[in-house]
Structure 1
Amino acid sequence: MHKEKGYDTMNRSASKKLRRVSLALGAALASTVLCTTASAAEPGGVGGVAGVDSVARTVGERACPVVYFDLGETLVHTADDGSITYRPGAASYLRALRERHIRIGLITNVPPSWGTTDAERAARLKKEVDATWKGSAPFAWKDFDGRILTPRTEAERKPAPVLWQRARAESGPCRLVFQAETTDEVKVAASLGYVPYQVGQPHRPAFLPVELIRLLG
């Protein structure tokens, strides 16, 4: 009997310790994403997280986070032979966002000559990607639900701010996230009030954790 009580006490203690560790890790990661935008806003920053001013605006921008991505080398990878596949973890990440009803979009450069509207240019982009796709599952175009923003002129090509400004205008009061592999693009997004996240960085999650995006809402 005394041994059983001892085991129960040890199990409860271990459970409490595990909960404390989990909470500490979650708080640390949330703090990293939500409170250290200085690196994105200041010259020379790597653009990993959101700034103080941006975080302050979350009070009035709730309930509908929208996550925008760059496409190439963020969600998909083009191999030397020209074939295109998902980047590691991208398919499961998009699925996790979909399962939690978090809206997503693309902000990506394509030739303006591909069409006169975003829909036309997006259709051409889909055709180009699908023609060389080698993944075991097709790219999840339907998840973007028409939220694919592309430059109308050469002057609108990223890192010009126009596409991010258009995405904000179309998203109303929703809190916006932007994820890309390029430092310059992440910094521009941060300067425009997005929660930025640079993918492909060592010792960090491949993408901004879904639970942190849910906190934004």
Structure 2
Amino acid sequence: MNGSASNSSARVGLALGAVLVSTMLLCTQATAAAPEEAGEGPGAPVTTPGHGERACPVLYFDLGETLVHTAEDGSTTYLPGASSYLRTLRARHIRVGLITNVPASWGTTDAERAARLRREVDATWRGPAAFAWADFGDRIRTPRTEAERKPSPVLWQRAKDDSAGCRVVYQAETAQEVAVASSLGYVAYQIGLPQRPAFLPAGLVELLGRRFA
């Protein structure tokens, strides 16, 4: 990584640190005060805005090595903690999406490419529970051309434009992607780093959306 990239990553880390410090106590209070809604829990259905699902925020993920891991034998499973984290987000009715690279040749629309992605992942899946595709709805953004592949900012910008002015959050395992998302106004969080939560705490994600609204 060159000096410019290192400085950018440092700025991202400092900005995120400030957000965490300023809101973590409020997050704890909001979590404690949040009412239990009928039907919430790991098996609760994904609903549309106006019927339980909150309009804001929208939390986007990278897929590979952020939510799922592909082993040397080609099999695919959830990364540790990813399945339970998605269940927590579902219980809080926080909308989630994917911003992920796939071959542009997989389809002419996001829906077609997402369907091919699902087939590819499901064909190699070895986890005890299937990947929670239903949670992501139509919020799976993939490149229409090779030039749109990450780290090009195009996919993040498209996802943000489709989020109806909500606070957008992005989580990935690479500093480069986190830096690009942050530069476009996302609250961006790099997973897999020591001495920090595996994922951005769900209560904080929820609180960021409330404070932004």
TM range, normalised to the smaller chain? 0.7 to 0.9
Q: What's the secondary structure of 1:104's corresponding residue? A: strand
Give the match's secondary structure for 1:85.
strand
Aligned positions of 1:129-208 closer than 5 A = 129-208=121-200
Q: Say if 1:90 and 1:42 are closer, same or farther in 2 by CA, change over 3 A.
A: same
CA contact (8 A) 1:41 1:190 kept: no
Could you tell me how far apart the structure 2 residues matched to 1:46 and 1:80 are? 35
Q: Aligned pair in 2 of structure 1 residues 106, 50: CA closer, same or farther (>3 Å)? A: farther
For residues 78-157 of structure 1, the aligned pairs below 5 Å read 78-157=70-149
Question: Given the alignment of the two structures, is residue 72 of structure 1 paired with residue 53 of structure 2, yes or no?
Answer: no
RMSD: 2.3
Letter in 1 for 2:10: G
Moved over 2 A (4+): 40-52
Q: Normalised by the size of structure 2, how large is the TM-score?
A: 0.76
Number of paired residues? 171
CA contact (8 A) 1:181 1:200 kept: yes
Residues of 1 paired with 2:59 and 2:9: CA distance?
A: 24
Question: Any stretches of 5+ residues in structure 1 without a counterpart?
Answer: 1-39, 56-61
More helix by share: 1
Question: What is the CA deviation profile of residues 18-69 of structure 1, one whole-angstrom value per residue up to 9, with x for unaligned ones?
Answer: xxxxxxxxxxxxxxxxxxxxxx9943427447469x99xxxxxx96100000
Aligned residue for 2:64, secondary structure, equals coil
Q: Contact conserved, 2:151 with 2:177, CA < 8 A, in 1?
A: yes
Percent sequence identity over aligned pairs: 70
Q: Which residue of 1 aligns with 2:10?
A: 45
TM-aligned CA deviation for residue 200 of structure 1: 0.4
TM-score for the superposition, normalised by structure 1: 0.74
Identify unmatched segments of 5+ residues in structure 2: 21-53
Aligned CA distance change for structure 1 residues 49 and 214 (closer, same or farther; 3 Å): farther
SS of 2:60 mapped into structure 1? strand
- Contact between 2:104 and 2:146, CA under 8 Å: does it hold in 1? yes
- Cα deviations across residues 119-177 of structure 1 (Å, max 9, x unaligned)? 00000000000000000000000000110000000000000000000001100110000
Given that 1:50 and 1:194 are in contact with CA atoms closer than 8 Å, whether structure 2 keeps it comes out as: no
Write the letter of the residue equivalent to 2:170.
Answer: F
Q: Partner of 2:164: helix, strand, or coil?
A: coil
State the distance in 1 between where 2:195 and 2:15 align.
18
Bigger radius of gyration among the two:
1
Q: Which piece of structure 1 moves more, 173-182 or 41-50?
A: 41-50
